[in-house]
Amino acid sequence: MNQEDAASNLHDEIKISTKEKIFNASVDLFSLRGFSDVPVREIAKQAGIREGSIYNHYKNKDAILDAIIDYFKKELGQANLPDEETVSLMKEGPEVFFTRGAQIFLARINTPQFGKIWRLVLMESYRNDKVREFFKKDVLEEPLAGWEEVFKLMIEKKMIKSVNPRTLAYEYWSFVIFLIFDYSILNYEEDFESYLERGIDKMNHHTQLLLEAVKIKDKQSTLKF
């Protein structure tokens, strides 16, 4: 326990409501073993209550999953850069734009909860219609459209060659999704934070290669990896 936690326990005790305990226990268990493989009784046990109490706070088991997805959706929406910042960051040139942009984005989603819920979302997208719809819309389609705009703008500003911006958006975002996927299946036992650190390196490699393919200058730069 670090100093801050100790202090807050002594003087400023943080009350975790029963509802939050249920929520947190569910995130832990669902993300590890999947929604349908976790009995309500086990959620209660992990939350330190009895199974009946859960129904004082959530209509049923499904409502817990719904709440988790809603929470994630909200948090994810707040992690995006506002448009003005996007435009001003672009003036620094494409390399800086992507490097800094990824840094800022990752810094905002860097909590252990996020790593767990990512895994949960990917898992349940296969079995739950609502989760799949969320994934399709909020994680794939909207970001893809956003990145398409970014690349279109870069082309207009002659920062990169005129290549179909849809293709570029796909190239960029599919790699992000792959990294999330890779984490969620193979590296979820690792700290989300330490995975993100390695992820940002991989992302930079990828972006550098992508820019190398679409850069306008004639001289070939030496790739540094």
Cα 97 to Cα 160: distance, rounded to the nearest angstrom: 13
- Please list the alpha-helical segments (H only) found in 48-164: 51-54, 61-78, 83-90, 94-108, 112-124, 129-134, 142-156
Cα 42 to Cα 51: distance, rounded to the nearest angstrom: 8
Segment interacting with DNA, rule: CB under 7 A, options 32-40, 67-75, 116-124, 197-205: 32-40
Segment interacting with DNA, rule: CB under 7 A, options 4-12, 39-47, 78-86, 167-175: 39-47
Segment interacting with DNA, rule: CB under 7 A, options 56-64, 111-119, 121-129, 186-194: 56-64
- Interaction of residue 33 with DNA, rule CB under 7 A: no
Nearest CA to 71 among 33, 126, 118?
118
- Interaction of residue 66 with DNA, rule CB under 7 A: no
The smaller minimum CB distance to its own copies, of residues 87 and 185, is found at: 185
Helix (H, G, I), strand (E, B) or coil at 12: coil
Say which entry of its own copies, DNA, none residue 53 contacts (CB below 5 to 8 A, set by partner kind).
DNA
Residue 177 DSSP code:
H
- Interaction of residue 27 with DNA, rule CB under 7 A: no
At its nearest, how many Å lie between DNA and the CB of residue 55? Answer: 4
Length of the chain in residues, anyone?
A: 225
Say which entry of DNA, its own copies, none residue 123 contacts (CB below 5 to 8 A, set by partner kind).
its own copies
